[in-house]
């Protein structure tokens, strides 16, 4: 997928799904830089990160006491959803220090579990691409027609999108 198609896809999602986006910890006064309170609470890690394929992403929102909400937006791989854009909301999510864990709801027989850390990436300043990265193990759980679950683990590195590519927040109720 070209960069132009990815940009158009993300803009289309903004128009269709604005209530799904959530980002906190930024105000006009600090121009996108996390405050010390945000750094200590983990809120600075909130944002949109890359996922497995170009055009896919993970939205992570760190809330009070390390509670994490969010979702994965990805392209379906199954026979019935091949190429369809799917949103999988977090069923559980927790941040303790820089250790992040989440599990998604099951959509079309597939769910994901992530276990890893939030780390400083190669970005030079807050708001830059890859200023934070999610590094860890992603497990994809897929059930077949007989309800047999196959799990596949892989090491992953997801980079935060630049601040100017991240939509403005509206909290999901």
Query: Would you say 103 and 111 are in contact if contact means Cβ atoms under 8 Å apart?
Result: yes
pLDDT over 50 (residue 35):
yes
The per-residue pLDDT of the chain, averaged, comes to 80
Per-residue pLDDT at 73: 97
Query: Would you say 30 and 24 are in contact if contact means Cβ atoms under 8 Å apart?
Result: no
133 in a structural domain: yes
Q: Tell me the CB-side half-sphere exposure of residue 125, using CA atoms within 13 A.
A: 6
Query: Would you say 138 and 158 are in contact if contact means Cβ atoms under 8 Å apart?
Result: no
Between 133 and 84, name the one with better pLDDT: 133
pLDDT-above-70 percentage for the chain: 72
Whole-prediction pTM value?
Answer: 0.73
pLDDT over 60 (residue 122):
yes
171 in a structural domain: no
Domain count, the chain: 1
Per-residue pLDDT at 169: 43
Sheet holding 99-104, edge to edge: 47-50, 57-62, 68-75, 85-96, 99-104, 110-120, 132-143, 149-159
Between 41 and 128, name the one with better pLDDT: 128
Look up the domain containing 11 and give its range.
3-165
What is the average pLDDT across 14-29? Answer: 40
173 in a structural domain: no
| Interatomic CA distance for residues 23 and 47, integer angstroms | 6
Q: What is the CATH number of the domain that holds 19?
A: 2.40.128.30
């Amino acid at each position: 997928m070209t960069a132009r198609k990815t940009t158009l896809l993300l803009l289309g999602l903004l128009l269709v799904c604005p209530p799904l986006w959530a980002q906190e910890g930024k105000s006009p006064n600090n121009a996108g830089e996390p405050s010390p309170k945000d750094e200590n609470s983990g809120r600075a890690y909130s944002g949109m990160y890359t996922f497995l394929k170009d055009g896919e992403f993970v939205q992570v929102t760190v809330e009070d006491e390390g509670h994490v909400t969010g979702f994965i937006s990805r392209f379906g791989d199954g026979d019935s959803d091949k190429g369809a854009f799917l949103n999988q909301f977090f069923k559980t999510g927790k941040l303790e220090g820089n250790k992040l864990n989440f599990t998604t709801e099951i959509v079309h027989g597939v769910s994901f579990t992530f276990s890893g850390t939030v780390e400083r990436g190669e970005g030079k300043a807050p708001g830059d691409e890859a200023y934070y990265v999610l590094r860890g193990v992603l497990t994809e759980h897929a059930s077949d027609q007989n309800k047999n679950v196959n799990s596949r683990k892989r090491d992953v590195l997801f980079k935060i999108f630049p601040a100017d590519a991240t939509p403005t927040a509206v909290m999901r109720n």
